[in-house]
Amino acid sequence: MDNKAVNITIRKDGRFMGKFCIGYDGSGKSQYQYVYGRTYEEAESKVMIGREVTSRFLSGRYITVGKAYEEWLNAAVNRVKESSFVNYKVKFEKHILPVFSEIPCADLSAGRINAFINRKLADGLSASYVRDIITVFKSMLRYAQEEYGFRLSLKNVVLPKVERKQINRISDTEQKRLIDYLKANMSLTAFGILLSLCMGLRIGELCGLKWEDVDFQHKILHIRRTVQRISSPNGNKKTQIVITTPKSATSFRDIAIPDALWEYFETFRNEADCFILSGKGKPVEPRTIQYRYKKILQLADTEYCNYHCLRHTFATNCAEHGFDAKTLSAILGHSTVNLTLNRYVHPDRTHERKLMNSMCLRL
């Protein structure tokens, strides 16, 4: 946009001529629109009107990715969880802004973004992480288009294909060995591991449990919060522990407590505002539980499987014992039944054979 004083000249035919910037060519050179008037004042008025109209257009057409990101982030801070906000910042400031910060949003193309995707994959980032980066980028670009009125087609952006890793359940033999050890060496940590294996709790949800979340009258466990370690939002590299709401709206849920676990709830019962795993007003963080879990697996002479495998094992156990998909989805706190079936239910070959043999006995 040309911000110099109004330049009005008089032509040989006696008319006054003014000009104003209407944009830039591919090399960045200014392009001008010319207007005319019988008097100086008329030409000047047309220039001022043209500048105003063009300014509104250019403010959207030439807003950079960096500037749009700042506005979008300010809008996001009050509508998303702190962990999501930090996630957005990290992905933008580490990956997107170093490449696109000074580029006008409207000048982005599928070719540019595809080249960016390929570079990130070549740098060793996983396909899943790169997809997450582009998802956040697209969210910001949708905001910019709505605010500034330009149109951007990214339908030819090709996201990398993610091959979902199969997470195996813990075998029946290993489950029995682990449970026997936990019962023989009962502690708050052992109790917590049993809750994940027998009730499908995420590790953050487990760490966030307080005794006030236990309905002792009806034997119901309320899932109302989660504990996470996230990057500090102030920009430094340190991390911090936050206690926040569960992963999604459907993650707020009530779960019936199995009778087999009830004695441990009564044994460890504490003040309402105490966290269950710590017995204090401060939670145990997920990283600590993961370390203790790994140590317990070694002591129980059980094959290593990451902590989230407990949740997968619970889901598969439920499916094999006849839980309907809708009930299981609600217990796990999933938004859709398909997510439950596709991601968490892994029938093993032994169970499959039992079902096949059972079916054939009816023939």
Q: What is the pLDDT of residues 186-210, one digit of tens each?
A: 999 999 999 999 999 999 999 999 9
Are residues 132 and 26 located together in one domain of the fold?
no
pLDDT in tens, 89-144: 999 999 999 999 988 888 888 999 999 999 999 999 999 999 999 999 999 999 98
Query: Is 2 part of a structural domain of the chain?
Result: no
Q: Which domain holds residue 34?
A: 8-59
Q: What is the pLDDT of residue 1?
A: 42
Are residues 222 and 296 located together in one domain of the fold?
yes
Query: Is 92 part of a structural domain of the chain?
Result: yes
Are residues 243 and 326 located together in one domain of the fold?
yes
Stated as kind and residue range, the H or E segment containing 242 is strand 239-244
Q: What is the pLDDT of residue 55?
A: 63
Last residue of a domain, one of 16, 39, 59: 59
Identify the CA nearest to 341 among candidates 356, 353, 323, 355.
323
Query: Is 164 part of a structural domain of the chain?
Result: no
How confident is residue 27, by pLDDT bands cut at 50, 70 and 90?
Answer: low
Query: Is 160 part of a structural domain of the chain?
Result: no
Last residue of a domain, one of 105, 133, 148: 148
Are residues 133 and 21 located together in one domain of the fold?
no
Are residues 240 and 189 located together in one domain of the fold?
yes
Are residues 330 and 181 located together in one domain of the fold?
yes
d(CA 172, CA 169): 9
Query: Is 13 part of a structural domain of the chain?
Result: yes
Are residues 128 and 78 located together in one domain of the fold?
yes
- Burial degree of 226 (CB within 10 A; 0-12, 13-18, 19+): buried
Query: Is 167 part of a structural domain of the chain?
Result: no
* 237 Rama sector, left if φ>0, alpha if ψ -120 to 50, beta otherwise: alpha
CATH number at residue 308: 1.10.443.10
Are residues 47 and 101 located together in one domain of the fold?
no
Q: How many residues does the chain have?
A: 363
d(CA 363, CA 156): 53
d(CA 190, CA 218): 24
Q: How many domains does one find in the chain? A: 3
Q: What percent of the chain has pLDDT over 70?
A: 87
**Whether pLDDT at 351 is above 70:** no
pLDDT in tens, 225-245: 999 887 766 655 577 888 888
Q: What is the pLDDT of residue 347?
A: 60
Q: What is the pLDDT of residue 79?
A: 80
- Residue 237 sits at the vertex; the CA angle it makes with 96 and 65, to the nearest 5 degrees, is 20
Are residues 272 and 317 located together in one domain of the fold?
yes
The residues with which 227 forms a beta bridge, in sequence order, are 243
Query: Is 229 part of a structural domain of the chain?
Result: yes
Q: What is the pLDDT of residue 235?
A: 57
Are residues 287 and 303 located together in one domain of the fold?
yes
Identify the CA nearest to 103 among candidates 48, 155, 65.
65
CATH number at residue 103: 1.10.150.130
Are residues 235 and 338 located together in one domain of the fold?
yes
Residue type (1 letter), 336: T
Q: pTM above the 0.75 mark?
A: no
Are residues 142 and 285 located together in one domain of the fold?
no
Query: Is 343 part of a structural domain of the chain?
Result: yes
